[in-house]
Amino acid sequence: MPEGRRRISPWCSFTLLGANIGIKLIMPKIIILGSSNAIPTKDHENTHMVVVGEERMVLVDSVSNPILRLEQAGLDFNDLTDIIVTHFHPDHVSGIPLLLMDMWLLGRQRPLNIYGLHYTLDRIETLMSLYNWSEWPNFFPVVFYRIPSREMSPVLDCPDFTIHASPVKHLIPNIGLRIQFNRARQSISYSCDTEPCEEVIRLSEGVDVLIHEAAGASVGHSSASQAGEVAHRAGVGRLFLIHYPTGKFSDHDLVAEARITFPGEVALAKDFLTLEFGINNKQDR
């Protein structure tokens, strides 16, 4: 089990990057690439994020136009080593065909790993077969890793971070993630799209940061107050709300709603929010 901590340490810093800022990435971090529910706005792309380490760069879901989005975050898409696909809804997978094609057109040769449930990866393979990808000449190797649908299944392990997945309660098979930043000894969890469920509470137990969806109380989704309740029960340090209604669908203060049920810090995860987990910050504890 990844090591959890009940309180967030001050050396886990939070910054909001502007678009087109070039940065040298040496510190393990998570960058939110999109925060909206299925209907995006110009300021809120569909929910997805990237986990960056010295050796690996892991995209969690892929939507819209991945190359541009990563560039806006100061990242080179060629550095992507892995993609974790949470579930096969268009607002989480629509960018995969374009990303793979662009990598191919620009001459990628090194393998790309893609992780997901059987249900998810079977459909991605079917989707790509519709594009006839087996006929793309000199296409780079794509290696699929099928994650069993059981709690705390290991997904990926490298010096910077260790990732586990648990099934969550959505309209189709879906996974939430727990990411342990090994050197910083901090952890985050991501609920993905889900109703409040015990699986997310167990997945999130004691993490420093919980990133929980707040699309609204309905089948397969959660309200902000429900997200707060999950955060409270899991004993997390800080709660970020994500996958929330944006633009004309944003009709009330979600942070205030979550504060009713969660006494800790709550904030909206906005596009390009960066959570850093670096060893260099340890002395600031």
**Residues in the site for Zn ion, rule: CB under 5 A?**
89, 193
In terms of Cβ atoms closer than 10 Å to its own Cβ (0-12, 13-18, 19+), residue 283 is: exposed
DSSP 139: P
Sign of the Cα torsion 120, 124, 125, 130 reads positive
* Residues 48, 136: Cα–Cα separation, whole Å: 27
- 160 or 193: whose CB is closer to Zn ion? 193
The token pair at 4 is 């959890």
Q: How far is the CB of 156 from Zn ion (least distance, A)?
A: 22
Residue among 89 and 178 whose Cβ is closer to Zn ion: 89
Nearest-approach distance from CB 88 to Zn ion, in angstroms: 9
Which of 71, 122 has the CB closer to Zn ion? 122
Task: Give me the sheet containing 29-34, strands edge to edge.
Answer: 14-16, 273-276, 29-34, 48-52, 57-60, 82-84, 112-117, 142-147
Nearer to Zn ion (CB atom), residue 213 or residue 229:
213
The distance of closest approach from Cβ of residue 71 to Zn ion in the complex, given in angstroms and rounded to an integer, is 26
Q: Quote the least distance from Cβ 243 to Zn ion, whole Å.
A: 8
Q: Nearest Cα to 261, choosing from 228, 217, 216, 221?
A: 228
C-alpha to C-alpha distance for 222 and 219, rounded to whole angstroms: 8
Task: Closer to Zn ion by CB, 89 or 212: give it.
Answer: 89
Residue among 56 and 89 whose Cβ is closer to Zn ion? 89
Residue 64 · residue 77 · CB < 8 Å: no
CA atoms within 13 A on the CB side of 245: 14
Nearest C-alpha neighbor of 211 from the set 261, 268, 150 = 268
Instruction: Closer to Zn ion by CB, 193 or 199: give it.
Output: 193
Write down the least CB distance from residue 16 to Zn ion, Å: 26
Q: Among 185, 235, 243, 168, which Cα is nearest to 206's?
A: 235
Structure tokens at 214: 């707040």
Shortest reach from residue 216's CB to Zn ion, in Å: 13
Shortest Å, Cβ 87 to Zn ion: 6
